Structure 1
Amino acid sequence: MLFQVKKNNYCRALKVNMSTEQIMSKDDTLPPPYYQINHECSRRYKRRTRCTYIVLIISGIIMMLFGVFILMILIPQEINTFRWNIKTPLSSLFDRDSTVLLISMDGFRHDYLELAERHLGPDSLPNFIRLTANGVRAMESINVYPTVTLPNHRTLITGLYPENHGVVGNSLLDEKWPNATFRIDDQESLNHAPWLTDWPEPIWVTLQKKGGYAGSVLWPLTDQFVGGDLPFQRVSQYTLLNDYEHRYAYDQRVRDILWWLNNPKFRLNLILAYFDEPDETGHAYGPNSKHVATTIQNLDGTLGRLLDGIEKRGLTDKVDIILTADHGMSETSNTRLIQLDNYVDNSWYNYTQLSVMGFLYPASGKFEKVYKRLKNAHQYLEVYRRDEVPAYLNFNISNSRMPPLILIAKPRWKIVTNASRPYANISGDHGYVTNFSEMHPFFIASGPSFKTGETVPKVHAVDIYPLMCALLNIQPNPNNGSLERISNILKPDVANRLLNLTYWSYLWKWLTFDLRFILFVSIICVFLMVLLCSIAIIMHRKEVSDTFIRLPIDNNKKISNHNF
């Protein structure tokens, strides 16, 4: 017969300074201790411990599998290598089944399609007609001032006016970088310093922070790191700086887009594609020329190859195409020039922009003199201090990049230092105020999210950013656009879903867009809890096993009911 002394009795003995020997001295018949492994009490304890371990292991495996299952549902398929085709109401909030393809054709005025048809015939643009028939067209897009390339391309991917996103011209100065000039025709200057840091991030940065992928085909200002990030795939803008014949071919741009759309290893959620025509032709020959019409027809062929490639790959219902431009074009003439040398000494100021508008930086002590001499110098010239610029232009905030003196020429007039400068000899230009309709670009949208065969009077360029964010299921950063204002181009069910998503409370919106992160952290916490419980049980088992005092028993004396 065996006897065990449990820990609680043993501890009570220790509290009164009684040693084991003193306890045992109460009964001198007790021999030296030993432990009977096969005692019934020990066997029951081992069975309970074994069952506890089994339950913990099974629970851990079940929770792990459940967590993986949930994550496979919620993680977008483009970063889910298993590519499970599981659809649930919850996963629809996060999956980005369709890709957003934003295409900009530089200088494509809102009425160029009709202009080309007048020159070349009604059947000269079959692919633009096809895209319009399968989508929705806005008769014009209201862009932002100044109506030039860099500011408007930045607006398309930030939803901000240039005074807010910081790209205020094709050439600009920044007080934070006093020895640098950032110019569209000098890619080295654009990449020389992190001059985009501390300014609002574009949509491709926000998307990639949320686990998506973005690609850029020559989109302006995508060669520069923003927040330490670059587009996942990109074709560098350096290829635009070569001579015209050796530039990155349009057909190659189309091939890049199609490859990215149908890549078996990854699928881009957002593609930004830039085409530099018909801007150059419009500058050279004027917007109403047959040369521009022919260029539009060539672009129609490029668009057709893109649409055919998308259709051939079975991606028609998976790609939302937004086709637009940065600005329009207006005729100019060498007979309509405002020559600044006639009014002020050119040593009194520097400038970053001087065409149909002028951004002047007067020399120290010369500001008032330059301002007063130019203020009423010419009937077709408007001169403003920065804080005097009309509110409708949204170009009067004071920051490190806004020019102190803004010159605005009336439509079809140009500002030059003198008439002998070569840049005066062009037939078309842009940069005028936004209420001049010839500055407005075109807009066509087609895909599973958009209406088909319809037209709307206008859209606003700042609204394209929140639209793309909604289509990509990412929360937009603060912007000047309105999803509600542009929702009339969406199918009713899509518009209702996206608008309802934006009207959720801030907290619910945060929970929705960051639910994957919350679930991931929760699962990690559960695993840690299981691990800690397992460690605690192991430690408890060891502690309990150490409390058994091995006591020998006189086989001739029954002491199983012995009490201390």
Structure 2
Amino acid sequence: MIWVRSRYLVLFLISVCIVDCSLLPPLYGLDAEVDLVVLISIDGCRWDYLRRVDTPNIDLLISSGVYVLRCLSVYPSLTRVGHTAILTGCYPESHGITGNVYYDRIEGVEKKFETSDIKVETLLETTSRFGLKSISVCFPMSRGATMAVDKGRVPDFLINVIGDIPENVEERDVWVLNATLMLIESEEPDIILVHFKQVDSMGHEFGPDSEEVYKAVRNVDGLIGKLIARLEAIGIADNTLIVLTADHGMASVSKPIPLRPMLHEKGFESYVVYDGRAAYIYLSEKDNPTDLLSFVRSVEGVESAIFGNYSLYHVPAPSDKTPDIFLTAKAGYFFTGKVTVRGQHGGVSLDDLRVPLIISGPTVPAGKAVWNASLVDVAPTICHILGIDPPAGCTGNVISNFTEPLPLEAKDKILEAEATIQEIGEKYNISLASNILDKAKSEMERGEYLDALKLASDSIEAAYLSMNASIAIEHAIDEIAKAKSEGRLIGIEDAEKLLSEAQDAYELGDYEKAYLLANNATIIAAKAEKRGFISPFTLAVVGLMVVVIIVVIGEKVKKGM
């Protein structure tokens, strides 16, 4: 078997290998018949959401097919860019969509990228060339569909039954599912594209670690379950290929980078486009690029400024719509004038880029995994399974090299543990976590993959427990110091004793005990009182006793009289 795979560095740098997909030998069971392809995009679904949330229906697709452990989106990791990569098998340097928006240098205004800006053939145009019928249901950048259903383009027969597309994202996703089910039965397409939006919306509003996001993931999983059930009910499930992925991930943000006014204050006249955790600078002829770059790279929160080394990030050189400088933000930062969201994307971190990719269907080996892939591999893989050429200009690869999942899962968890320990170890004690990780690596070398997976997970937990316990101890120290400075000494001895016990437990590696003791020390210190101070409760009790005594004495006096 001859095949070529892309290799990924920790963040984003990708070495691209271009192959002629039509020359590849069969990688799937191509003797099986595929009557329908369902391509599902869960917008903004970061890869680890499916680990954190119970998703029985998506899990069914994983167990019956192939999943990619490390699938990356493209930079900038944004909706229009990612979906165009899915549909063309190309990076932005080829397909031409470099953001959600761009700056029109002539008109001096920001505009959205449209499907007409795509510079290469799309999957839907390819399938049309081969006589296949395609439908897009609210799928971004889906140029070339036989039928495109979206805002302002809903057929009457759908409106008559399920109404128009709702504004509420949860209701909108239910509508998308119902439209998809109706269109599969009434139009009998060969390929249908489906886009769910609520996970992305909740990620922006509440942040990627929120219960609102997890609820949205569960909602979408339920919709996928209904789709699978309907395919089974109408008898086409066995001949349906389902490909599930996302256009980008989601990162937590809290710190704005108001670069536009900052440039103007420094006297620069170049224009800045904010696009989440990416930003683009369209240079003014009046600005010195070297001076501007020097300033931008000094701004807090800016991770990198891409100028000249465009191919390293697979973005095109400057043009009428493409910026002169691409910017990426550090963790926690995003480009904006004010903070209005808790989650964003567009950057080059794994939180921005890493997404799920699952392929399940009649031609796909069940229960297998692939180590890495990119969104640009989706279109050529679908075309390969359908037995047709990939889109013209496609640079992605047919996903292959299927193997057993457990060794890859153990390898992935060890890499995750290494990254976690490296990050937490910059400020906190990670000696216990490192020791556990060393044991995980030893088990990995011995081929004991299940033990390696468990130990790597334990090392991550130990690292976070160490961090949380250390933070709790710091809070206890601060609270005790505050109480002392205010003269609130009653109870401080007990707080200091608990703090000392917490510090001892921390040194022994019992981080959970240290965390609990430190928290109790903080609570006691916060309630500490000044000596001689009568609390409101005590004062009330004394007052009540005085009243009772007065009443009793009064009664006795009356009786004596």
Report the TM-score, using the length of structure 2 for normalisation: 0.59
Say whether residues 1:171 and 2:101 are aligned partners: yes
Task: Give CA deviations for 1:121-159 in whole Å, capped at 9, x if unaligned.
Answer: xxx422122222222222231111000100010000100
Aligned length: 365
Residue 184 of structure 2 corresponds to residue 292 of structure 1: no
SS in 1 for 2:89: coil
From 374, 377, 381, the counterpart of 1:463: 377
SS at match of 1:327: coil
CA distance in 2, matches of 1:438, 1:383: 15
| CA 311–95 in structure 1, closer or farther in 2 if over 3 Å, else same | closer
C-alpha contact (below 8 Å) 1:170/1:353 kept by paired residues: no
CA distance in 1, matches of 2:86, 2:316: 20
Deviation readout 1:7-46 (Å, 9 max, x if unpaired): xxxxxxxxxxxxxxxxxxxxxxxxxxxxxxxxxxxxxxxx
Aligned match of 1:125 in 55, 62, 71?
55
Larger CA deviation: 458-467 vs 317-326: 458-467
| Separation of aligned partners in 2, 1:239 and 1:280 | 22
Shift, 1:398, TM fit: 4.2
1:156 is matched with which residue: 86, 96, 105?
Answer: 86
User: Displacement, 1:212?
Assistant: 1.2
Partner in structure 2 of residue 487 of structure 1: 400
Q: Check whether the contact 2:275–2:335 (CA below 8 A) recurs between aligned residues.
A: yes
In 1, are the aligned partners of 2:245 and 2:355 still within 8 Å (CA)? Answer: yes
Cα displacement (A) at 1:294: 0.9
Counterpart AA for 1:171: V
Tell me whether 1:244 sits opposite 2:191 in the alignment. Answer: no
* 1:437-466 residue CA offsets vs partner (Å, 9 max, x unmatched): 552111222111212123333321111111
Alpha-carbon spacing, 1:239–1:478, altered in 2? closer, same or farther (3 Å):
closer
Aligned to 1:352: 273
Aligned-pair distance for 1:397? Answer: 3.1
Residue 352 (structure 1) shift: 3.0
Q: SS state of the match for residue 323, structure 1?
A: strand
Within 2, Cα distance between the matches of 1:269 and 1:469?
12
Residue 258, structure 1, aligned to residue 181, structure 2: yes
What amino acid sits opposite 1:270 in the alignment? I
State how far apart, in whole Å, the 2-side matches of 1:410 and 1:464 are. Answer: 29
Q: 1:96 to 1:363 in 2, by over 3 A?
A: farther
Q: Answer yes or no: is 1:368 the counterpart of 2:283.
A: no
Q: 1:210 to 1:337 in 2, by over 3 A?
A: same
Deviations 1:96-143 (A, max 9, x none): 742211100100000101222xxxxxxx42212222222222223111
- 1:287–1:236 CA distance, 2 compared to 1 (3 A): same
Whether 1:431 and 2:346 are equivalent positions in the alignment is yes
Q: Unpaired segments of 5 or more residues in structure 1?
A: 1-91, 117-123, 185-189, 492-564
- Secondary structure of 1:458's counterpart equals strand
Superposition misfits of 4+ residues, deviation over 6 angstroms: 92-96, 239-243
Equivalent in the alignment of 2:488: none
User: Aligned match of 1:137 in 67, 70, 76?
Assistant: 67
Q: CA deviation at 1:329?
A: 0.7
Match of 2:112 in 1: 183
Aligned equivalent of 1:50: none
Matched position secondary structure for 2:395: coil
Identity of aligned residues (%): 25
What does residue 530 of structure 2 align with?
Answer: none
- Partner Cα separation in structure 2 for residue 179 and residue 318 of structure 1: 51
Amino acid at match of 1:139: L
**1:321 equivalent in structure 2:** 242
Instruction: Specify the code of the residue in structure 2 equivalent to 1:353.
Output: Y
Give 1 or 2 for the bigger CA radius of gyration.
1
SS of the aligned residue for 2:308 comes to helix
Secondary structure in 2 matching 1:413: strand
Cα gap change, 1:174 to 1:157, in 2 (>3 Å):
farther
CA offset at residue 361 of structure 1? 1.3
Measured after TM superposition, the shift of residue 339 of structure 1 is 4.6
Shift in CA distance, 163/340, structure 1 to aligned 2, threshold 3 Å: same
SS at match of 2:279: strand
Residue 385 (structure 1) shift: 5.4
Of the candidates 199, 204, 208, which is equivalent to residue 128 of structure 2? Answer: 208
2:50 corresponds in structure 1 to 113
Pairwise CA RMSD of aligned residues? 3.1
